[in-house]
Each structure stands twice: as structure tokens, then as C-alpha cells.
Amino acid sequence: MKIEMDNDFRGNAYIIQNEDVLLKFSGGFADLANEIPNTLNTRFATASMGKTFVAVGILQLIEAGKLKFEDNLGDILVINLKSIDPGVTVEQLLNHTSGVPDYFDESVMDDYEALWTDYPNYRIRHNKDMLPLFIDEPMMYPKGERFQYNNSGYVLLALIMEKITGVDFDIYLKRNVFDPCGMDSTGYFEFDKLPAKCANSYIYCPDTKDYRTNIYSVGAKGTGDGGAFVTVEDIVKFWKGLIGHKLLSEKIVSAMFSKQSGDGKDPEEGYYGYGVWIIDNPDGQDYVYMQGIDDGVSAISEYNPNNGMITVMLSNYGDNVWSRMRKVRKEMY
């Protein structure tokens, strides 16, 4: 059965079931001013989707015996943690139960651009550049007390990765996650020197009824909490590498895809594993997905282990990928 995408979607959508392609769609412009269309090879910014890559990198280090779930922040990072509890564990960072101060608390904030009023976004090029945004703030709650989605926690995980491996987190991920999967188009790129085929991300301006790019709305380069550029085909390669155990053992992937935190009160959001969201499926294996949203960016990709479907939807206009994902679930699951 083939799936159709509505023609007003601005971005790329790609859906496979085992080896059958059910949908291959490109819409909208990668470069609006020059009317250069999005194509299957277009690289899209993906915001928090990158947390999944960081989680895989951390789990690799755990599997290699270079790190433990129970290791503490204070024992790993040689920085002044100030009010952050040094006893926060790697596992609590992975599953968003750490309580560390979140530089962008999505439960009370919705304007990402506001972060850069006093701290220019062009200064964000490494994970350490993110520290001034949260290092002076108090803990949000005692470590391990509850689940609360946390961006700063994944910045700290990337810093841990860098401390253990001795290389920048994006270099580690390229060598140990992207390259083994054949993800040749994926990477963390600086906005002022983007490589070929990267889409601009656009924000609608109601006052002028036109669009501007998001170059002043997000960090100049992605960090541990997100910001990778990907193609839809590369995301499929990532899922295949992950479930095919090119990156992690079956045991670790099973733990990654298991409910580690969250209460499932919102059935669409679901629970959290390690770096992935999980939707409860009482009639079979749970659905696993990753997602991201920034100004001008929306991204979701889901793996359904019950029927072998992998869905990827990436928009460089912030179009609603979630409603379209719901439609796929309703029609195909």
C-alpha cells in the first residue's frame, strides 16, 4: 500500500517498510529567495533529533567499559558545577531525570530566540559555549525525583563524551555512528560555512507576511542537545544500523528502546528510553521515535518494530510533522 503526502508539506518525507519504499516526497524550497527546491538529497536541520545520536555514542562508551550508567558528573567533568549536584548520574542525564538546570525549560518557555538577547548565538560553536546559559542556575529538582525533558542534560552528556574520547563530540559521532551506517550527508555544520545541499530554515513573519531564515534564532553550530543536519535517507540508514546492531549490541538497543522514564499521561508523547521517545503499544512491541523542533525546524522519525516501517518527516518551515505522523499511524499500523 502506497502512502500519499499532502502537497502543501514543505520538506521531505520518506517511508519504508522493510525494503519497500511506501513514500518518497519532496516539497517546498531549500532556498526560498532563489526558488531552489528541496530534493531527496537536501540536508535538513533537525533540532533535538540529535539527542538520539548522542545517546548512542554514550551507550557505546558504556558498552566498551569506558563509562558506567552510575558514574557521576562530578567524577567525570573537571569544571565548576556550582549548584549542580555532582552526584547526578549518566543514566539520569540520558533519561531526563537529572534535575540539572535546563537552559531552555520547555514547560515554561516557548521563545527560543529570547535566549540570545544577552548572549549572541554566534558564540555557540562548542558544548562548553553552552555552559553560561545554565551553569549559574539552581537544580530544578533533586536528582532522580522525576522525569522532565532537559536540554542541558544532553549538553553535559556531550561534554562527558568529549572528556572520555579526547575529541569533539561531533567528530566522535561521525567516526562511530554516522560512518558505520553510511550516513555520508549527516553532520554538525556551522551556519556561516554550511556545505552544499543544506536547506535554509524559515520563520514566517506575520507583520510583513513573508519569511526570514533562523540564522539568528539558534546556535551557530549544533551541540549535544541537537542541531545535526541530515537527509531522510541517512535517517533510514541510522535506524537500520541501530536495529541491525552495527552500533550497539542487541541487549543495549533493547534497553534503549525500553521505558526508562516518564509516565505516559500524554499517550502521543509517551515515555522515554535512552535518547528516544516510546509510545506504548498494548497489542505488540512499542513504537520508538525521535523528534525535534526549533524556530523554522520540525522533524520526526519513527520505527515500528511490528511491521518494519520506518517513517521520516523533515521540514525547514516548521510544518506540522506530528499530525502527519498520526495519520501514518492511523492508516498503516
Distance in angstroms (rounded) separating the CA atoms of residues 4 and 176: 35
Task: Calculate mean pLDDT across residues 289-315.
Answer: 97
Please state, rounded to an integer, the average pLDDT across all residues of the chain.
95
Residue 121 vs residue 29, higher pLDDT: 29
pLDDT of residue 186: 98
Percent share of the chain, pLDDT over 70: 98
Query: Residue 44's closest CA among 317, 328, 327?
Result: 317
pLDDT of 109 over the 60 cut: no
Helix (H, G, I), strand (E, B) or coil at 56: helix
Taking Cα atoms as reference points, which of 289, 291, 297, 293 lies closest to residue 333? 289
Query: What would the pLDDT profile of 195-236 be if each residue is shown by its tens digit?
Result: 999 999 999 999 999 999 999 999 999 999 999 999 999 999
Over residues 309-331, the mean pLDDT reads 97
Reported confidence tier of residue 111, pLDDT bands at 50, 70, 90:
low
Both ends of the chain: CA-CA distance in Å?
12
Note the pLDDT tens digit of each residue in 126-142.
999 999 999 999 999 99
Instruction: State pLDDT tens for residues 293-305.
Output: 999 999 999 999 9
In angstroms, the CA 10 to CA 290 distance is 19
Residue ranges of domains in the chain, CATH in brackets: 11-332 (3.40.710.10)
pTM of the model: 0.96
In this structure, how many other beta carbons lie within 10 angstroms of the beta carbon of residue 192?
10
